[in-house]
Amino acid sequence: MADSMIQVENLRHSYGERAALADLNLAVNRGEIFGLLGPNGSGKTTLFRILCTLLRIQSGRVTMAGLDLNTHREQIRRLIGIVFQSPSLDKQLTAEENLRHQGHLYGLHGQPLEDRIDQMLQRVGLGQRPREYVAQFSGGMRRRVELAKGLLHLPRILLLDEPSTGIDPAARIDLWRYLAEIRDRDNVTILLTTHLMEEADKCDRLGIMDNGRCIACGSPSELKSQIGGDVITLTTDQPAALQEQIRQRFGLEGVCLPDAVRIERDRGHEFIPQVVEAFPGMIQSVSLGKPTLEDVFLHVTGRRFAQQEAVTT
């Protein structure tokens, strides 16, 4: 794609016999906020590490800003900013000292560096607190310093791993305001990983990952539109039996869950009285709603979105 800032083609990566990425294809457009949504074990962290140049490509091809990741690693490292999930700040240093050390890593010195530090701290709302120790900051303030570090060298691509980790809802609102400003003011392309549906809903586009593949891609509204009508969830202690009886009675293919049957149907409010009356005593509760991203994940995978405690990939 001509306007892609990140292009992933047939990317494969394995840890021993276990495939973390399996022929992954993905394109991130210039100047957009793109989210990788998936549970632990879906492959998003492995992809993130490859894009950060921390893992070598085993098979496939990745280009970033038109540069091949295999042959232009050093150039790409100067074009990307990274905010890791785990904190990377020295708490015994001030905000400006943390940024100053970061600047030195990119060859920045003197007054240009000091001006850049001041500019970045102003951008993230910490311009009045440059000499305060990071140990005294809240989780949200530390995340802002992390963001300032990632932007200090004016990258064209910003990579964030689970950016809302460890911060409260108010700080998340601030974080997303900064990300929108970065995208709109500086035309920075932003890619982030997340397992939070609320966060994913704020992205311009999403790639839903499962078992090392991108199984669906589009804007949140486009993805939700794949599900027709309403989503009806029928809670029951006999999900398999209820699913079969709904198929026989109404000709509908519901999804059988451990404790419920899920149905996608237009005008769901009209169908609910029919199904409750048809199977008295089998249905314990009923919920009706418009499609969510969690419904999209269930629709394309056949199972609920859940954080698994397996090895993160």
User: Which of 193, 223, 253 represents a domain boundary (last residue)?
Assistant: 223
The pLDDT, as a whole number, for residue 265 is 87
- 147 and 40 in a common domain: yes
Do 260 and 164 share a structural domain? no
Asked whether the predicted pLDDT for residue 308 surpasses 70, the reply is: no
Separation CA 182–CA 190 (nearest Å) = 9
What pLDDT, on the 0 to 100 scale, is given for residue 170?
A: 82
Residue 241: CATH number of its domain: 3.30.70.790
Say which residues have a Cβ less than 8 Å from residue 74's Cβ, sequence separation at least 6.
none
Average pLDDT over residues 106-110: 93
Residues 234, 216, single domain; the answer is: no
Percentage of residues in the chain having pLDDT higher than 70: 96
For residues 146 and 263, membership in a common domain is answered with no
**Would you say residue 139 has pLDDT above 50?**
yes
Burial of residue 202 (CB within 10 Å: 0-12, 13-18, 19+) is: middle
Domain boundaries, position 42: 4-223
Q: Report yes or no: 234 and 260 within 8 Å, Cβ to Cβ.
A: yes
Distance CA 53, CA 73 (A): 7
**How many domains are contained in the chain?**
2
What pLDDT is stored for residue 74 in this prediction? 94
Residue 50 pLDDT > 80? yes
Q: What's the pLDDT tens digit per position in 170-201? A: 888 888 988 999 999 989 999 999 988 889 99
- Residue 307: the pLDDT is 45
Structure confidence at residue 309 as a pLDDT band (50, 70, 90): very low
Answer yes or no: do 42 and 155 share one domain: yes
Strands 157-161 and 189-194: what pairing? parallel
Domain containing residue 120: CATH number:
3.40.50.300
Q: How far is CA 77 from the centre of its chain?
A: 21
Residue 283 lies in a domain: yes
The confidence score (pLDDT) of residue 311 equals 43
Q: For residues 145 and 126, what is the distance between their CA atoms, to the nearest angstrom?
A: 8
Place of tokens 């009886």: 245
Residue 128 shares a structural domain with residue 105: yes
The answer to whether residues 155 and 262 belong to one domain is no
Same domain, 259 and 144: no
Q: Average pLDDT for residues 234-262, to the nearest whole number? A: 92
- Answer yes or no: do 163 and 252 share one domain: no
For 311, other C-beta atoms within 10 Å of its C-beta total 11
* pLDDT at residue 279 in the model: 93
Q: What is the pLDDT of residues 200-223, one digit of tens each?
A: 999 999 999 999 999 999 999 999
Residue range 11-38, pLDDT digits in tens: 999 999 899 999 999 999 999 999 999 8
pLDDT value, residue 1: 47
